Amino acid sequence: MSRTHDLLRLLSDGRFHSGVELGKALGISRASVCHAIRALERLGVDIYAVSGKGYRLSEPCELLSVEAIRDELSPEISSLVPGIDVALDLPSTNADLLTRAGKGLPAGWACFAEHQSAGRGRRGRTWVSPFGGNIYLSVLWRFTSSASVVNGLSPALGLAVAEALQIAAVPGVGVKWPNDVVWQGKKIAGVLLDMAGESSGPCVVVAGVGINVSMPRSAADNIDQPWADIVQITSAPVARNHLAGAVLENIVATMRDFERDGFSQMAGRWRARDAYAGKRAALHLPTESIEGTVEGIDEHGALLFERAGRTLAFTTGELSLRGLAD
């Protein structure tokens, strides 16, 4: 773990710590402490520096911890997670695991980051990833089947995140096909799948999850759709390691169950949380956008969409209630 990460852990209690105290704890000079403080500020960490008192964070924060997350996992799921990484800063947790997958990283490996400089959403969007308030997680899985067999995995993992939020006492959470998690029409979490492998053979899947826990309003200016965070919903502090563990537990369990049974065993639970069923919507496809009524999903996780009296099944696309014709 880097000195910068170690320094942040010392400051995470929200109290003042002098440069001398921090230098002694880290075994570095006061000048090196100053350099590490500047590095944290470049990541967006809000630090107060007061002459005669030292440094402190603007408020205490619960940093993610490998040990604390591991403690939240059941013994069965923990046995399927050979490693957990917690990085202070990465361009993208998905990109990190994809790179290491090519070097033999085993299935079940998880990677969290406190900050992403190049977080990605669906359809090439940026996933706004400010420091320390949210959850950014990727999990690697290796499927023996081809990529075409895992079409239903996207809604399955959206459901896994929604159910993990319920475990973490977030009420009223629904799902929006294919893999968004919503609350009162506002996005609270999303899933991004990256795949690699032969079209007719084994494939590697990296599932990235972003959850808005406590989104700084300054960062939210860059979000181009209605959004919510958990603190806004519950009006209460969030135990980030508990939430991270609950999400990782559900993601790994869902990967295991999906590989064995496919999506059909999860379809009923998904339908019970479907926030768009019965609503008129626009479906944005790679080459066009069409309007119709959402009729739910089929047993394979495909969207059922009624248009001009016909119900069609789609495995790609994005739903929107905005911009519908009058």
- Tell me how long the chain is: 326
What values do phi and psi take at 41, rounded to 5? -65, -35
The predicted model gives 104-129 an average pLDDT of 79
Q: What percent of the chain is predicted at pLDDT more than 90?
A: 52
pLDDT at 60: 75
Residue-averaged pLDDT of the chain: 87
CA distance 43 to 37: 10
C-alpha to C-alpha distances, 10 to 4, 16, 114, 167, 307, nearest whole angstrom: 10, 10, 16, 30, 58
pLDDT at 236 over 90: no
Q: What is the pLDDT of residues 182-207, one digit of tens each?
A: 999 899 999 999 988 766 678 899 99
The predicted model gives 20-41 an average pLDDT of 84
pLDDT at 14 over 80: no
pLDDT at 274 over 90: yes
pLDDT at 326: 38
CA distance 165 to 127: 19
Assigned CATH for 276-320: 2.30.30.100
Q: Which residues in 86-112 are b (16+ Cβ under 10 Å) and which e?
A: bbbbbebbbbbbbebbeeebebbbbbb
pLDDT at 73 over 90: yes
**Where does CATH 1.10.10.10 sit in the chain?**
3-57
**Where does CATH 2.30.30.100 sit in the chain?**
276-320
Angle at 199 between CA 145 and CA 178, to 5 degrees: 70
In eight-state DSSP terms, residue 17 is B
CATH topology of domain 3-57: Arc Repressor Mutant, subunit A (1.10.10)
Whether the CB-CB separation of 280 and 292 falls below 8 Å is answered with yes
pTM of the model: 0.86
Binning pLDDT at 50, 70 and 90, where does residue 42 land?
confident
Amino acid at 28: I
Q: Which residue did the predictor score with more confidence, 1 or 76?
A: 76
pLDDT at 147 over 70: no
- What residues act catalytically? 122, 187, 322
**Where does CATH 3.30.930.10 sit in the chain?**
66-271
Assigned CATH for 66-271: 3.30.930.10
